[in-house]
Structures are given as C-alpha cells and as structure tokens.
Amino acid sequence: MRVSESDTLGAIGEVATLSRVLPRLTPAAAAELGPGDDCAVVAAPDGRFVVTSDMMVHGPDFRLAWSTPFDLGWKAAATNLSDVAAMGATPTALTVSIAAPRGLEVSVLEGIADGLAAACDALAPGCGVVGGDLSVSEVLTIAVTALGDLGGLSPVLRSGARVGDVVAVSGVLGEAGRGLAVLFAEGVDAYGMPDADAAASARERHPESVAAQLRPEPPIADGRLAALAGAHAMIDLSDGLAIDARRVAAASGIAIDLDSVALGADPLLALEGGEAHSLLATFAAGTALPGGFRAIGRVVAGAGLLLDGAPWQRPSGWDPYRGWDGARG
C-alpha cells in the first residue's frame, strides 16, 4: 500500500508526532513528573537507582522486514527491563529516544509506542516511559535508558559468585537463537534479502522460536526474587549463555561448570543461542531456588567455562563489531 506523504514524520513534524505517540504510552507509577517538560522527575525511595542503556539499530539489531513496529517496542523495553532485573532491582521508568528517516510513517512510531507500553504492562507493571527524544537519521535507531529501584537491598553483581555455589537459570535457553536461525534461513527472498512475506510465513511455521527472538518475555520478577533469596551473582543472558557465564566467571575469579543434561535436548544451542534474556544467577548450596530458577551447574575453583568438567573453548557469543563467530567473552 502506498503511504500518503501526510502520514510521514517529515510531513507532520515533531510536535504533531508526539501528540499521536505519547498518549499510547503507559505512565510510570514512580514518575512525579512525566513527559512534557525538560526532564522527568522519578521517585527514588531507596535513595539510589540502577540505570542501564541499550540501543537497537536497523540492520545489525533488527530488520523491519522481520519485525513489526509493535515487536520493536516490545523488544526495546524487554531487553532493558531484563538488565535492571539482573541487578536484583525492580524496573521503574524508561526513557526512549528514536532517530528515524523523515519518510518513515508515523504509524511505525505509534506501533513502537504500543509495544513499549504492552511490554511494561506485561513484564514490569508500574514501569512506564517518562521521556525521551526524537531526531532524524537515515537509519531507524531506538535507544532506551531504564531505571530501577533496589528497594533497600544491595545490587547483585557479576562478581559475587563463590566456589560451591549452585548455578541456576530462569527463562528459556536457545529458543531465541533458533528463531534467529529460522529467520535467516526462511525469512528471506530468492536473493537472500530479508523479506516480510517470507518472514510472516516463517513465523507461522515456527511461532514459538520466532516470537522468542522478536518478542522475548524475560522473567523480570525473578530478578528481585533472586536478590531476596540471597543470590551471590547474576547476569542477563543477552549475548549467549557461554559468553555471559564466562563474564561472571571472570568477574568473580572462579570457573563455572555447566551440566549438559540440565541444558536440555540441545546443549549447543542453549550455550550459543543469544538474546534469550533469561537470568543466570549463583546461589549458596542448599538455597531454595526462587521463582522459575532451575539448577544447571555449579561454581568451582579455576577460571573460565566448563561443560561436564571439560573446558569449553568455542568462541561463543555476540560481539557487535565481530558478530556471533568472533565473540571471545
């Protein structure tokens, strides 16, 4: 369908665009002042807050032929909410900045706003968008900053794992990686280029895998539960279990030994499939694992990552400059 010039960002401008987008966003419960002024004002009852930022750029991070605008908004929120949860905090507010081509339809930004609101409502009730910015760019870019409340607890760091700890995960491993492989294999045209019709067909054939990639559902509430249960270390599994487990091992000065049986029917996919946005945590032996956490290994003396007691050397994980094959953790 041909888009009318009057439906583009360049035609109606920033003020009119915001008047259509802002009403679609869910207010943040912690916001004393939301969008519309030079800054938002967000309550910090703990006296501290955690903060994280993440960027999604068309091309390396998403393809408009594969993702709907709603998908983009959902994933932009989910990936940041998961980082907040990995610190043991409760997400309270997001700021969202978007740079987009002048010719982009305003409906795309409306769809992104709907996805942001829906993800906050479903994954972190009470969290919402409190501000942001719009700018022009040749490449659609979404940048999100998330705030979280520690609620009187210490943040759960990557550096706290101790020898003897149980290594546990909450969330699904490997499914998002499978979804990405499906899109690259089946969501393309005869020339290997991303194609919307092919992607829609792939989504129908592999709904769970593609949804895990395009619209992840990280276990946000389990981050807080892990902190309350005394988790020693925690990390969001955004770049792949293998590389992120190595990050915990390096920060803590220990080794992590994973159990291949506990990783499921496809341990390789569980280890190397990225963007799961599950939570990996370590707990003292004997701790009743909270929420959806399940044991997948243990912390041992040494360095790096082991699988069934043997060093895992594959260069597994995501590096934005080197892709999946070059990451070294």
Q: Which residues make up each annotated binding site for Mg(2+)?
A: 38, 52-54, 83, 133, 236, 239
Q: What is the mean pLDDT of residues 17-23?
A: 95
Domain CATH number, residue 115: 3.30.1330.10
Q: Clarify whether residues 82 and 133 are in a common domain.
A: yes
Which tens digit of pLDDT belongs to each residue from 60-101? 999 999 999 999 999 999 999 999 999 999 999 999 999 999
Compute the mean pLDDT over every residue in the chain, rounded to the nearest whole number: 93
CB-based contact 132:55 (threshold 8 Å): no
Q: By CB neighbour count within 10 A (0-12 exposed, 13-18 middle, 19+ buried), where does 291 fall? A: middle
Domain CATH number, residue 284: 3.90.650.10
Q: Clarify whether residues 223 and 248 are in a common domain.
A: yes
Q: Clarify whether residues 164 and 304 are in a common domain.
A: yes
Q: Which residues make up each annotated binding site for ATP?
A: 132-133, 158, 238
Coil vs helix vs strand at 221:
helix
Q: Clarify whether residues 289 and 163 are in a common domain.
A: yes
**Lowest mean pLDDT, pick from 180-184, 306-310, 320-324:** 320-324
Which tens digit of pLDDT belongs to each residue from 35-65? 989 999 999 999 999 999 999 999 999 999 9
Q: Clarify whether residues 99 and 206 are in a common domain.
A: no
Q: How far is CA 28 from CA 77, 160, 259, in A?
A: 13, 31, 41
Q: Is the pLDDT of residue 328 over 60?
A: no
Q: Which residues make up each annotated binding site?
A: 38, 52-54, 61, 83, 132-133, 158, 236, 238-239, 275, 318
What is the share, in percent, of the chain residues with pLDDT greater than 70?
94
Angle 166-172-176 (CA atoms, 0-180°, nearest 5)? 135
* Nearest to 56, CA basis, from 137, 117, 120: 137
Q: Clarify whether residues 101 and 124 are in a common domain.
A: yes
Which tens digit of pLDDT belongs to each residue from 101-145? 999 999 999 999 999 999 999 999 999 999 999 999 999 999 999
How many helices (H) and strands (E) the chain has is answered by 10, 13
**Amino acid code (one letter) for 319:** D
Q: How far is CA 7 from CA 17, 100, 107, 120, in A?
A: 10, 14, 8, 27
State residue 62's pLDDT score: 95
Q: Which residues make up each annotated binding site for substrate?
A: 61, 275, 318
Q: By CB neighbour count within 10 A (0-12 exposed, 13-18 middle, 19+ buried), where does 184 fall? A: middle
Strand pairing category for 31-33 and 41-42: antiparallel
- Structural domain total, the chain: 3
Q: Is the pLDDT of residue 326 over 60?
A: no
Q: Clarify whether residues 145 and 279 are in a common domain.
A: no
Which domain does 191 fall in, by range?
180-213
Element (H, E) at 136: strand 128-136
Q: Clarify whether residues 166 and 282 are in a common domain.
A: yes
Instruction: List Cβ neighbours of 28 (8 Å cut-off, separation of 6 or more).
Output: 34, 42, 92, 93, 94, 126, 127, 128, 129, 130
Q: Clarify whether residues 86 and 34 are in a common domain.
A: yes
Q: Clarify whether residues 110 and 48 are in a common domain.
A: yes
Q: Clarify whether residues 280 and 312 are in a common domain.
A: yes
Q: Is the pLDDT of residue 215 over 60?
A: yes
State residue 1's pLDDT score: 41
Q: Is the pLDDT of residue 253 over 90?
A: yes
**Amino acid code (one letter) for 274:** G
Give the pTM: 0.93
State residue 329's pLDDT score: 31
State residue 312's pLDDT score: 92
Q: Is the pLDDT of residue 158 over 80?
A: yes
Q: Clarify whether residues 209 and 222 are in a common domain.
A: no
